[in-house]
Structure 1
Amino acid sequence: MTNALERLQKVIAQSGVTSRRKAEKLIVDGKVKVNNKNVTELGTKVSPQDKIEVNGIQLEKEEPVYYMLYKPRGVISSIKDDKGRKVVTDYLGEVEERIYPIGRLDYDTSGILLLTNDGDFANLLMHPKYGVDKVYVAKINGIPEKRELNKLRKGVRSDNELLKVVRYKILETDRQKNNMIVQMTLHEGKNRHIRRMMDILGYPVSKLKREQYGLLTLKGLQPGDCRRLTPHEVKKMKLAASN
């Protein structure tokens, strides 16, 4: 937070409590107090000296932190799980800040997952209009013809959603084992996006990994490894999402 006045929802998002969009709903729903008074106006601006409470808990400003995890298969993209399964924050060691995943990867999907306490950064990367490349490699059962794979670019409908890829590339075809490895690039990731697309085409995914997120790759990491993003990487990711 700077010495200048900033919008209340931005300050809440930067605190790591939630995204800016959800912060706006909390304000409208009367869940936010500034200096012990309920505030419901989204245009409200606050200073660093103001006391802000969300759901009765006072905000403590945290410095923004940014992590990249090579999420293994069989791990929940959450900070807790009521069934006692492994969650992504189990792999981050002693992190004092209240971080949370940016988006999610399915339980059976591995690869790059970003975590942060910066709600604005998370919102920027998740919004489909900003078009940050997310590159996946999928092993699929069966060998579709090119005309079938071309449907991925046009899009297929599932549960009233249009699911499509920005581009795809065939990496390997194994006719003996009757499978294919395909690289697919998305700008948004709906729930089980790639798996649902391939199920509709009749070529289910047996293995899926997100290998690249913007400029970030898995180079030097093994499943379960994590590292902090450098200031340069954070800056470049913000620039990529803003252009």
Structure 2
Amino acid sequence: MTILQRGSSSGDAGGAADRVLNQLLTEMDGMNAKKTVFIIGATNRPDIIDPALLRPGRLDQLIYIPLPDVESRHQIFKACLRKSPLAKDIDLSALAKYTQGFSGADITEICQRACKYAIRENIEKDIERERRRKDNPEAMEEDEVDEVAEIRAAHFEESMKYARRSVSDADIRKYQAFAQTLQQSRGFGSEFRFPDQPAAGASSAAAADPFASAAAAADDDDLYS
């Protein structure tokens, strides 16, 4: 669901969006400390979020998540390919270094495309094997062993030909500028200090005569009796 600024759309769609936003704000304001509820939102268009959602008590904590670094990209490759048979010569570290500026979705697309190439190659081999058997049914192919389809370096190399970044450098600069602007608009607080404490002499006198404080408290009680 996209939460746009109120009044940003025209027609019935704009009215429906405003009603959804108003209902969401009402639900968020109705939560209290007794309900262990955390609301987390994610967007790649922070510039069009309604400011009412960013007020204190709502989505008031901004966390800018940059694109994955080389170690994170390595872990994404491992997660995407954890159930896929990989050839022993596949170096995921090299892929992680090469995909600088790629998002998690971009890396996922690379892995899926490489898997499709491996599956397609295996299907083509099965079709060719069946064709040879039909052409020569008396031929024995005991020495031919069905190979387990695995993703090889050639599949990744072919997949990388179509790899593309979904987030440009201009988009990254825009997100960084927005995060900095929002942080500055909220300010960095002020140098707050409590008022000066009572003089040391008065504190010492009260400590020296505790009954005087008790008597004064009794007099205060008499005022309301």
Length-normalised TM-score, structure 1: 0.19
Higher relative contact order at CA 8 Å, sep ≥6: structure 1 or structure 2?
A: 1
Length-normalised TM-score, structure 2: 0.19
Between Structure 1 and Structure 2, the one with more helix by share is 2
